[in-house]
Structure formats: structure tokens, C-alpha cells
Amino acid sequence: MDNGMIKLKIITPDGEFYDGEVKRVVIRTTEGEMGILDDHAPTTVALSTGTCTILTDEQEIKGLIHGGFTEIKERQVTLLPDAAEWPHEIDIERAKQAKQRAEERLAEDKDHVEAKLALERAITRLEVMEWYDGH
């Protein structure tokens, strides 16, 4: 694969989410966003809840990943998130309600860890849907 492409695999506990050659993948790690291109330095990083942007020869697609980690090797990236979703799988009304519930819990207890994580997931789902609706 000396064509500037990298092999991307996204595997969740439920099975294979994505498998293909890509030009670039952008993920959200616990340290911030990370773009991965061909010949990236080998590393392993922890994933955070966030958008996963995949650029192929034909299109840009976005998915949502939740936690886990990724392993980057020469010309191969393997994401092992705890869960992953495509935009068409997201229920926007449910995401809005989850956001509201999480905000209410945080108003009562600012240190509520589960509410912070739920709010992060809901906001990211809504961001992915906003992007998806514009494309």
C-alpha cells in the first residue's frame, strides 16, 4: 500500500464497524484530536467519546466512537472503541432528551461523572447529526 492509503479497521465488542483503505482518519483521543495519515509513527492511544472522520478516495464520512483505544502501526490503524455509531443510527430526539437529563443532573451535582459522560455523548451525537444533515 505505497499509494498514500492506510488500512483502517474499527472493531467494537459487537463486531466489525469499518474495514477499508483510507487517506486519513481523524479521531478524538483523551489528549485531543489526532489526524492519522500514511506512515504515521507507531503508537497506542486512548480514545475519548467523539467524532471519527474518515476520508476515502471518494468521500468524507463521520461516525461516532465512545472510549476504547487505537493502535497505529505502519500503514494500519485499528480502533477498538467501546461502542461506535453511524449518523443514520442516531435517534436525534433521544439524544436531545439525554442531553437535557444530563444537564439537569449536572445542575444538581457538578461532579456527577456519569452525567458528564452522558452529556459528552449526547452533544457529540447532535454534532454528528448536524454535520450529516448538511451533507
Residue 95's H or E segment, with its range, is helix 92-108
pLDDT, residue 101, reads: 85
pLDDT, residue 1, reads: 46
How far apart are alpha carbons 30 and 39 in whole angstroms?
22
Domains and CATH numbers, the chain: 6-85 (2.60.15.10), 89-133 (1.20.5)
Residues 73-109 pLDDT 10s: 988 999 999 999 998 887 888 888 888 888 888 888 7
Task: Give me the amino acid identity at 14.
Answer: D
Task: Give me the amino acid identity at 38.
Answer: D
**Contact present, 53 and 128 (Cβ < 8 Å):** no
Bridge-based pairing state of the strands 50-55 and 60-66: antiparallel
What is the pLDDT averaged over residues 46-50?
A: 92
3-class secondary-structure state, position 10 = strand
C-alpha cell at 128: 454528528
More confident residue, 14 or 91: 14
Q: Give the relative orientation of helices 92-108 and 113-133 as an angle to the nearest 10 degrees.
A: 150
Burial of 79 (0-12, 13-18, 19+ CB in 10 A): buried
